[in-house]
Structure 1
Amino acid sequence: MKNKILFSFIVLAGMAISSAMAQVLPSKQETLKTLTLVNGYFMKKYADYTLPSKTDRVRPSNIWTRGVYYEGLMELYKIFPKEEYYQYAYGWSDFHKWGMRNGTTTRNADDQCCGQTYIDLYNICPTSPAMLKDIKACMDMLVNTPQVDDWTWIDAIQMGMPVLAKLGKLTGNTAYFDKMWDMYAYSRNTHGGGLFNLKDGLWWRDADFVAPYKEPNGEDCYWSRGNGWVYAALVRVVNEIPKNEKHRADYIKDFITMSKALKACQRSDGFWNVSLHDPSNFGGKETSGTALFVYGMAWGINNGILNKAEYLPIALKAWDAMVKEAVHENGFLGYVQGTGKEPKDGQPVTYTNIPDFEDYGIGCFLLAGTEIYKLK
């Protein structure tokens, strides 16, 4: 009798938990409304995608910051295929002749980021080999030269690694997969003694921040958005590679390790600080890193990699916080840290401050929202 009562209690509790979880999911309609609002703000303000980015100096609009925006736009297009979105991405790519700043011989991943969108557009409608010519030539150069030490800062992992993954999937050539592992492994295990600290489950941004470098509170310096770039890269790579790819399990293992570490340092309001282990060092809400963590966690839930009961409350709390506290009525996105490489850079981070580049923060937000939209 006791066993029957216990079993009934467990079943009812499980049903209650499942019901509660289903109820807290934001409606797809509201999520899409938020995404189109934020994206609409950007497309209206930056309607002319041919204009260069002007901050401390002039840069072409196919640099990494805009490349990240288009990553988000392409994911939005997949759930809401509005022709205007496709044309905005296609026109930008075509204006740049499907090329990269510094040409096909660049080894700088920041230059290569735009290739993610070029490949996505080719996959939607392969109208011309010219769409892939330059980005494929650049990635072939990486594959056919011995260097593996290009990604000396962890942002680069997100900018360049998914390009190799996408080309490997498109062409069926596993040499792209092999090269991206070799480059990832060098950054992870070798550069600066290894940028991934397995003990803490987080990444140092580059060799300058490897211990004994410390934050003011004595902790290691783990920059939020930098870790977000790696987290997003793992998502975007695993999305592309086949189930039997020889390092797939390694990527997923790192993703799970990072997820546990990120869960432990979420702020009580749902955001993450710019400094993950030192909330006193330029502490406060920050949207770009938070969005990348939501992107990864929601994707992990959607793909059965992360436990839904454990991670859904974290992802939803963060998404709800961004929607309610960062999104303005006109779609402007607040609390986005400007460019840099550590907590003190790109300040101030406030509700109303406009960062030096608006594009990548919105791209990160679109990535997060599209995965939230897919939750069931």
Structure 2
Amino acid sequence: MLNKVISNLLSVLALCYFLSIELPVYSQNNTKQTEVISEKLKYSERMALSIVKRYPEAWKIDNNDKLKWDYKTGLTLYAFDKLYGKTKNEVYYNYIKNYIDSVIEPSGAILGITKEEHNLDVINTGKVLFNLYKTTGDQKYLNTIHFLAEKLKNHPRTNSGGFWHKDIYPFQMWLDGLYMEAPFYAQYTVEFENGKNLSDVVKQFEEIQKHTYDPKTGLLFHAWDESKKIAWADPVTGRSPNFWSRSIGWYVMALVDVLDYMPKDHPKRVTLIKFLNQAAEGIAKYQDKSGLWFQVTNMGKKKGNYLEASGSCMFSYAFAKGANKGYLPPKYKLIAEKAFDAVVKKLIIVDPDGELHLTQICGSAGLGGNPYRDGSFDYYISEKIKIDNSHGTAPFIMAALELNK
């Protein structure tokens, strides 16, 4: 009888080996052991593996309950794309590919996205398609790339030539929108149009700089309404009333990422570098002694204001990359390191199994809409504060990569 049991067990083990099935590992108390994320890994991988552990399927990131094409998912996958480029770990590549394959059809059509809808957020996720197409040669990825480029071509603009943020925000340009569209637009025109529209890419930054940059603080207001009709807009300038760190973070990340595609001899390259240096100088003035930045950038410890993770991570990434590429003076690398170290020390929680959690992330913020968001100080500090929101975790990975942390 014992011999038969042993024989059957050996047969099962042999079948598992043949089929490459991994048997669960049990401890002495017969409970499945928890996979441990090693503290010996770089912070970029520790955070990425924590995200995969929390959300084995990328579409569920941020606890989404519905499969959809989402700019925040795209933000995370872009960080994974950069991480894959550094490590060549197929876990990150497959995480990207599995999501994209679930939201685009063989024709290249995107789930839930029509050519008639105008929304800059839709463009952002398209950045990960370039590498998927290069590595697979699958036509559907190219079709989706062209589809998004066509949407951008037909996107409505202000009278001065800037992209509206969305159909529901006519004549408005938001700092967020520059990150959503400009890096994709720049890469597309370089790879498929010989760079013919790079000046138009820069035009978007010129419009934002002209209408939202504040020389007194060196910061940029969250948005501008050309029509000056929306209630949050200043009746003279059209500007929104406050400085929000994450929106400025979107802007400087857009600058350093677009510069990847600007040839050194392009006459507008120096314009973008100038804008980056102006913004960096202003941002650096408001870095708290802790190394972090506040939710409302220039309001410091005003009651209700708090040290916010996503803006701090975005600034760290942009400063580190800017310095690494020579766009910014070396001192900004030190500022980036101070910020990243502060995030790790003050805002990261580590579980016993090595999983990382990032705290103090503004869940979401915007202007207008329903319910109406007025852009006041009280509004920005009233938005929910979340843990592990991708607005913060993705820039954390990107900053860690640039700093080799």
TM bucket, shorter chain: 0.7 to 0.9
| Partners of 1:262 and 1:100 in 2: CA distance | 38
1:233-248 matches, cutoff 5 A: 233-248=254-269
1:1-376 matches, cutoff 5 A: 32-51=41-60, 60-97=67-104, 99=110, 101-123=112-134, 125-143=135-153, 147=157, 148-151=162-165, 152-189=173-210, 194-207=211-224, 221-279=242-300, 280=302, 282-308=304-330, 310-329=331-350, 330-341=355-366, 344-345=379-380, 353-354=386-387, 358-373=389-404
Q: Decide whether aligned partners of structure 1 residues 46 and 71 sit closer, same or farther in structure 2, where only a CA change above 3 A counts.
A: same
Q: Decide whether aligned partners of structure 1 residues 146 and 290 sit closer, same or farther in structure 2, where only a CA change above 3 A counts.
A: closer
Deviations, residues 102-146 of structure 1 (Å, cap 9, x unaligned): 2344331111111011123324x1421210212322323433677
> 5+ residue gaps in structure 2?
1-37, 166-172, 225-230, 367-374
1:154 CA drift (Å): 1.3
1:242 CA drift (Å): 1.6
The question of whether the paired residues in 2 share the 8 Å contact of 1:300 and 1:306 is answered with yes
Indicate the residue corresponding to 2:25 in structure 1: none
Q: Decide whether aligned partners of structure 1 residues 286 and 130 sit closer, same or farther in structure 2, where only a CA change above 3 A counts.
A: same
1:81 CA drift (Å): 1.6
| Partners of 1:360 and 1:31 in 2: CA distance | 25
Question: More helix per residue: 1 or 2?
Answer: 1
Tell me, what secondary structure is at the counterpart of 1:332?
Answer: strand
Report the AA paired with residue 337 of structure 1. Answer: C
1:233 CA drift (Å): 0.2
The question of whether the paired residues in 2 share the 8 Å contact of 1:49 and 1:61 is answered with no
Q: Give % identity.
A: 23
Q: Decide whether aligned partners of structure 1 residues 53 and 305 sit closer, same or farther in structure 2, where only a CA change above 3 A counts.
A: closer
| Partners of 2:326 and 2:212 in 1: CA distance | 27
Deviations, residues 7-31 of structure 1 (Å, cap 9, x unaligned): xxxxxxxxxxxxxxxxxxxxxx979
Q: Decide whether aligned partners of structure 1 residues 336 and 96 sit closer, same or farther in structure 2, where only a CA change above 3 A counts.
A: same
| Partners of 2:241 and 2:125 in 1: CA distance | 32
| Partners of 1:348 and 1:108 in 2: CA distance | 22
Report the AA paired with residue 303 of structure 1. Answer: K
Deviations, residues 17-66 of structure 1 (Å, cap 9, x unaligned): xxxxxxxxxxxx979522222111111111123458667xx654421111
| Partners of 1:203 and 1:209 in 2: CA distance | 16
Tell me, what secondary structure is at the counterpart of 1:321?
Answer: helix
The question of whether the paired residues in 2 share the 8 Å contact of 1:201 and 1:261 is answered with yes
Tell me, what secondary structure is at the counterpart of 2:97?
Answer: helix
| Partners of 1:170 and 1:126 in 2: CA distance | 17
The question of whether the paired residues in 1 share the 8 Å contact of 2:74 and 2:125 is answered with yes
Report the AA paired with residue 320 of structure 2. Answer: A
The question of whether the paired residues in 1 share the 8 Å contact of 2:319 and 2:332 is answered with yes
1:362 CA drift (Å): 1.1
The question of whether the paired residues in 2 share the 8 Å contact of 1:272 and 1:289 is answered with yes
1:100 CA drift (Å): 6.2
TM-score normalised per structure 1: 0.79
Higher-Rg member (1/2)? 2
> 5+ residue gaps in structure 1?
1-28, 214-218
The question of whether the paired residues in 2 share the 8 Å contact of 1:339 and 1:346 is answered with no
TM-score normalised per structure 2: 0.74
1:371 CA drift (Å): 0.7
Moved more, 60-69 or 179-188: 179-188
| Partners of 1:108 and 1:47 in 2: CA distance | 28
1:323 CA drift (Å): 1.3
Tell me, what secondary structure is at the counterpart of 1:121?
Answer: helix
| Partners of 1:297 and 1:101 in 2: CA distance | 36
Tell me, what secondary structure is at the counterpart of 1:175?
Answer: coil
The question of whether the paired residues in 1 share the 8 Å contact of 2:72 and 2:391 is answered with yes
Q: Decide whether aligned partners of structure 1 residues 282 and 47 sit closer, same or farther in structure 2, where only a CA change above 3 A counts.
A: same
